[in-house]
């Protein structure tokens, strides 16, 4: 049985591609790839494989999560990204933050990481 990914509209997929291009330029210009990768990692880090709960839902942007000691400094990433996120209101914060992590890997010369949108 293969993995099952959410289905998104063509409009959503086009927004993902456009956002990815903008993120490439933004992350390269700001030299913030490590910070963006850390944001994506910490956003996803609450996933529990046993209960299938937690995970990257974009909630890391909320003060309660940002104030957790392990997330120290990630408020900077959230603030840096917010003007760009405003350009793509169709994208969920969850997809947006994970896409920033994917692009950060690619911008630094890493492999192309498959991205599957559709997080709430």
Name which of 97, 109, 74, 105 is nearest 16 in CA terms.
97
- 42 is annotated as an active-site residue: yes
Which of 31, 42, 62, 116 is catalytic? The answer is 42
Q: What span, in angstroms and rounded, lies between the C-alpha atoms of 32 and 48?
A: 28
Q: How far apart are the first and last CA of the chain?
A: 24
DSSP state, residue 113: P
Residue for token digits 């063509």? 10
Active site residues: 42
């Amino acid at each position: 049985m293969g993995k099952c990914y959410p289905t998104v509209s063509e409009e959503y997929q086009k927004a993902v591609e456009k956002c990815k291009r903008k993120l490439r330029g933004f992350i390269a210009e700001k030299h913030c790839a490590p910070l963006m990768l850390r944001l994506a990692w910490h956003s996803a880090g609450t996933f529990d494989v046993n209960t299938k709960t937690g995970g990257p839902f974009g909630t890391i942007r909320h003060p309660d999560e940002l104030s957790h000691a392990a997330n120290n400094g990630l408020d900077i990433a959230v603030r840096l990204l917010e003007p760009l996120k405003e350009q793509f209101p169709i994208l969920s914060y969850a997809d947006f933050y994970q896409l920033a992590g994917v692009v950060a890997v690619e911008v630094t010369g890493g492999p192309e990481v498959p991205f599957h949108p559709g997080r709430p």
